[in-house]
Structures are given as structure tokens and as C-alpha cells.
């Protein structure tokens, strides 16, 4: 029986491997209460591949992105990039790590200081990583990176952030990342604040970067976008993966009730909301349906009662994995 084990795959094909990682936040008075944000999550991003991490607000997808970027501590097992465990990186090794892994986030305006012109994001990179490059060569490198994201240097470099659109600001941040010859880009809701015409430009840019061999983790709550851009889809609920696989399988044949409810909730111009609500209610009532996970592993009572060797997902079909319905203890199989 196939499982979600990552063993045996060539490291050369992997850009980033997340292997059974978890993250617990301390909340409440004096941090006395544990809040699991990520629970036993495993997936991989390969070079030249877009992996969409999809879930509602609070599902843990941004926390996972921050863990890969080393903005949050890594607990559980490991995150490896190019075969190297990143959990212990500090100072110089972490600085070197950011040459190959960068993130772009939801609000582009928050990445700029409004009192400085937009080109300051490039000068900061130069100071940290390219101090030995002369001014003329640096201008050529910046111009090339901007042209790679379809921006004219003359139109954006000497302007303040408020003089540029959100799409231009996001593309400048991607251009900054490209200066470092990155292998992995964590794109966290990067188009959710952009208008429709600008969104397609950024999505097409990601497709171009993918074709050049860049691995992209595309974090979103929008299933339509995830289906549009991704080679692999990971559905996250309350910190756990509930379904994962090729987009045509996950969206064309959803097996977990949560995935089904997400797909039902996608707005469609030809359907009224009253009909959608009725379908959602019917879906919630049907949570006791067929659980593929327990068909594969009939002797367990869910992840809590399983030994460490048992995978958290079962393979329902080729390149399509699904979790137990009662993984979070609220549903029945």
C-alpha cells in the first residue's frame, strides 16, 4: 500500500521537503495554554513546480510558510531545502539560506518604508549580499531583474511606494528575490489585495518563473487560483493536511468532507446563494460518509491511536491522498 512517506525520492528532485513538522503557540496568561497551529504536516515542493497550500483563515498555512522562511521555530521533525535541514541555521548560515529562499507576502505596502523610494529594497540587498559589486554592474543587475518581471526601471525606481500600484510593488519584491538566484519562493496570498487585471499579470509571472525551474509554494484561501496555477494541491484544515494531490484529482474527485465543503462554497455566477447554503448544509450532514483512510487502515481509531509508522494520509488513487474524517476529533467515520 502506498503511503505519504518521502523516503526513497531523489534529493536532486526536491527543492523543499516538509517532513512531519508541527508548531504550537503558547497563549493565555503566562503562556499556559497550547494552541496547535500546524500538526504533523508533510509535503514537498520540487524545482519547477507550483504547490498550492489552500485553507481557510486560521488553518496554519501562513505559519507553515513562515517556518520554511525560518520566521517561526520548527518543531516535530524536519524541513530540508536542497537536502539540508534548516532548523538549526543561525546568523551566517541563515543569511546564506536567504540567498536561495525568499518570501513575498499579502500586503506589498507593508514591505516598503513610505519615506524612502521603492529602489531602497534593492540597495538593502546590495549592502547585505553584493557589497563588492560596483555601481554600474549593480544597475545592470537591477534592471535585468525588473525586466524579468515586466517592469521598466525608469518607471518604478525613482518613485515612492504610494506612487506605484500594488501589482507593481509585488513585482518589485519578486524582482528583489530574483537578484539572489533563489530556488524557492514562498508566495503568501500575494494577489489577494490586487485588482483582477493585475492578478493575472502576477500569476503569469509565476508561471514564467516556474518554467525557469523555480519552486513555488503558493499560499492561498482561493481554490480557483490554486487550481489555476498549481501542479500539486495541499488542503489544510486546522493545522492538518486533509487532502493532497494533483489538482484535477483533488478538485475533480474530492474525497474529504472539508474539501467538498470548500468547493461548494466557491462563488459561481449562475448559482444563487440560497442554493449554495442548502448544499453546504447537506454536506455538513453527510460527514459520516465513506472514509477512505479507515478503509486502508481499518485497525486504527485515527491518528491519536496509531503508531509512528502509520502515515497521516492514505493513497486513494494515484497522486491523490486523503486523511481520516475524524483527524481533529470532531467528525465521525
Domains of the chain: 11-100+181-247 (3.40.50.300)
- Nearest of 62, 70, 103, 81 to residue 17 by alpha carbon: 81
pLDDT bracket for residue 36 (50, 70, 90): confident
Strands (E), 143-285: 184-188, 215-220, 232-237, 240-245
Mean confidence (pLDDT) of the chain: 83
Q: List CB contacts of 56: < 8 A, sequence separation 6 or more.
A: 221, 237, 262
Asked whether the predicted pLDDT for residue 330 surpasses 80, the reply is no
Residue 51, strand partner residues: 217, 232
pLDDT tens, residue by residue, 237-274: 999 999 999 999 999 999 998 898 888 777 666 666 66
The predicted model gives 174-189 an average pLDDT of 90
Looking only at the bridges linking them, the beta strands covering 50-54 and 232-237 are parallel
Question: Tell me, what's the pLDDT at 11?
Answer: 47
Asked whether the predicted pLDDT for residue 275 surpasses 70, the reply is no
Exposed/middle/buried for residue 314 (C-beta within 10 Å: 0-12, 13-18, 19+) = buried
Distance of CA 307 to the CA centre of its chain: 28
**How many whole angstroms separate alpha carbon 159 and alpha carbon 286?**
55
**Cβ-count burial 22-43 (b if 16+ within 10 Å, e if not):** bbeeeeeeeeeeeeebbbbbbb
CB 163 within 8 A of CB 119: no
Asked whether the predicted pLDDT for residue 333 surpasses 70, the reply is no
**How many whole angstroms separate alpha carbon 201 and alpha carbon 216?**
16
Asked whether the predicted pLDDT for residue 212 surpasses 80, the reply is yes
Asked whether the predicted pLDDT for residue 54 surpasses 90, the reply is yes
Asked whether the predicted pLDDT for residue 179 surpasses 50, the reply is yes
Question: Tell me, what's the pLDDT at 23?
Answer: 87
| Lowest pLDDT segment from 38-47, 59-68, 77-86, 181-190 | 77-86
Higher-pLDDT residue of 39 and 294 is 39
Question: Tell me, what's the pLDDT at 144?
Answer: 92
Amino acid at each position: 500500500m502506498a503511503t505519504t512517506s518521502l523516503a526513497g525520492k531523489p534529493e536532486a528532485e526536491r527543492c523543499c521537503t516538509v517532513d512531519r513538522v508541527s508548531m504550537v503557540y503558547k497563549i493565555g496568561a503566562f503562556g499556559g495554554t497550547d494552541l496547535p497551529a500546524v500538526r504533523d504536516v508533510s509535503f514537498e515542493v520540487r524545482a519547477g513546480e507550483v504547490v498550492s497550500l489552500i485553507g481557510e483563515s486560521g488553518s496554519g498555512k501562513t505559519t507553515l510558510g513562515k517556518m520554511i522562511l525560518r520566521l517561526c521555530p520548527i518543531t516535530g521533525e524536519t524541513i530540508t531545502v536542497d537536502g539540508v535541514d534548516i532548523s538549526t541555521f543561525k546568523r551566517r548560515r541563515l543569511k546564506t539560506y536567504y540567498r536561495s529562499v525568499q518570501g513575498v507576502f499579502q500586503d506589498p505596502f507593508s514591505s516598503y518604508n513610505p519615506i524612502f523610494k521603492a529602489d531602497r529594497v534593492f540597495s538593502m540587498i546590495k549592502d547585505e549580499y553584493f557589497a563588492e559589486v560596483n555601481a554600474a554592474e549593480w544597475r545592470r543587475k537591477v534592471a535585468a531583474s525588473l525586466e524579468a518581471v515586466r517592469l521598466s526601471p525608469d518607471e518604478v525606481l525613482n518613485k515612492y511606494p504610494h506612487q506605484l500600484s500594488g501589482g507593481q510593488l509585488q513585482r518589485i519584491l519578486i524582482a528583489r528575490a530574483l537578484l539572489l538566484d533563489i530556488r524557492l519562493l514562498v508566495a503568501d496570498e500575494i494577489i489577494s489585495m490586487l485588482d483582477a487585471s493585475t492578478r493575472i499579470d502576477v500569476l503569469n509571472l509565476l508561471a514564467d518563473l516556474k518554467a525557469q525551474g523555480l519552486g513555488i509554494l503558493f499560499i492561498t484561501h482561493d481554490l480557483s487560483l490554486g487550481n489555476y496555477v498549481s501542479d500539486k494541491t495541499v488542503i489544510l484544515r486546522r493545522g492538518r493536511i486533509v487532502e493532497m494531490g494533483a489538482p484535477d484529482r483533488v478538485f475533480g474527485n474530492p474525497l474529504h468532507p472539508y474539501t467538498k465543503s470548500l468547493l461548494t462554497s466557491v462563488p459561481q455566477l449562475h448559482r444563487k446563494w440560497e442554493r449554495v447554503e442548502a448544499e453546504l448544509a447537506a454536506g455538513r450532514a453527510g460527514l459520516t460518509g465513506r472514509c477512505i483512510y479507515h478503509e486502508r487502515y481499518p485497525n486504527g481509531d485515527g491518528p491519536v491511536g496509531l503508531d509512528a509508522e502509520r502515515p497521516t494520509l492514505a493513497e486513494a488513487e494515484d497522486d491523490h491522498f486523503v486523511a481520516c474524517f475524524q483527524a481533529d476529533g470532531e467528525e465521525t467515520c
